[in-house]
Structure 1
Amino acid sequence: MTRSNARAQVETSSQPLELLLFRLADEQLYGINVHKVTEVVYCPPLRRMPGAHEVVAGIASLRGRAVPVIDLAHAIGQAPAVPTPYRLVILTEFSRSLQGLLVSRVDRIVSTRWESVRPPPSKGGAGFVTAITSVAEEMVEILDVERVLAMVAKSEQSVSSALSTEARQVLAAGLPPVLVADDSSVARGQVQRALRALGLDCVLKNNGAEALEQLRTWAELGPLQERVSMLISDIEMPQMDGYTLVSRVREDSRMSGLHILLHSSLSGRSNDDRARNSGADRFLAKFQPDELASAVVEQLACRR
């Protein structure tokens, strides 16, 4: 093996990814990270809620909790699901909320690696396909469930005016941009708007590989701190996940001091611990704009 091939192999080595595979009425094979899945159940009786988004099929009582059930086919631009006795609900927990995803059939759980996951060749599923991979020679579309949730959720999406005003007084003028890596267009937009509310510019990248390439380019030009203020990265990304990105950054002496915040829809203490063990400075679950803004201001205020 040549040195360049050896480096390429190390460069693409990443964390394992387990996907729950399922199908909608179109028979396309879809996937979702199993770490977002709580359980799979047959669809219970649904109660329609007045004023709910049209893709919310209804509210179900699951494990003593009222859970909104999203018609996933309808949400990504297909025809609404036809009621059958066999349809299933994938109960998911991500982005600080619990919701059910209504699907036609659940296939199986498979294990792959992030380097085998690629960005979609085009925006399929009305832009809801965030990545693709293959299993047994069949293409799997990994859905941007964060975008689905953002479409139906009624949560605050903007930094509060008080925090925005305070940040502009605290932060130094002319700070370098913040580098943001996230494969979800919705998440990139959310972070960008939050940073702009603080008076900060940002450079957006679609995955860890692109972010690492940008950091190396900047490092070749001189001291990294003159070109980037900090890195905000998702964890689940095609080609190179957030944990691997952090590892690569920490291995490079030119960028080892870069402040890194992992910002993921995965939540829970285990992800917090894993993020810190990977070398990241902080972990935040998506998406609370004021919490993200406060974390950024806390880090960058010392540069004034």
Structure 2
Amino acid sequence: MSDPEVGTLVLAATPIGDSSDASPRLVEELSTAPVVAAEDTRRLRRLCDRLGATLGGRVVSYHEHNEASRTADLVAALVAGERVLLVTDAGMPSVSDPGYRLVCEAVRHDIPVTCVPGPSAVLMALAVSGLPVDRFCFEGFLPRKAGERERAIAALAAEPRTMVFFEAPHRLAAALTSLAGGLGEERPAAVCRELTKTYEEVRRGGLGELATWAADGVRGEITLVVAGREPTGADGGVDLATAVPGIQARVAAGERLKDVCKEVAAATGLSTKQLYDAVLASR
């Protein structure tokens, strides 16, 4: 049972573009929290100006460069009974943003953790993509280096769920090209750009088509939604013919054939030996 004298860590979602998406509760928390930890204190103050909120407590910076050192200070404030509000530049803290480390430490110290729900680029992009939403996974940012990116994509070759990624605009074309190579040019996807902002755009199509479109450059905040793999086997599962190319791509990227075959077998129900033999036969 948590100590009634300790404070509470509040993770607060902030608007991803349109400040009018902020909830009344966010305004209240900003005005009353004794401690507000912000990814960018200047952006926080600009948001408060737009919302008409007056910061009631002390404001400290909390970002990827000082997260390790500042976490201890915030935990100390929580242990001392202070309510700590954590906000990032946009969306929910800890989702590809600072916050996970602080949550873990708060949990370790038996400190209550709650959140102010609100805007989410992941959920909005998923909802407007036109792709299946019954099952999905969030994959964050793909690796920047081509080899690592291709290995990460190859590991998702048999993923049946809709996948959501974040991507920087200057890396979008390369990411889409790698995805098209690893998952197929016709795999349905949607590029969601500048969500909730003036120039919001959702571009839908196959990965190959989208890669061509993005080649000339794309601006703005990007959330990418990619359809999962459809069942292709006679029994509704993945068959050997469709599993082999993904295995080959992963092996070419540096993974051991035996290890990849075991992993794919566990995910698809196919025989490890059949997969191994089929890859050798295709060489």
Give the TM-score normalised by structure 1: 0.30
* Structure with greater helix share of residues: 2
* Structure with greater strand share of residues: 1
Give the TM-score normalised by structure 2: 0.32
Bigger Cα Rg: 2
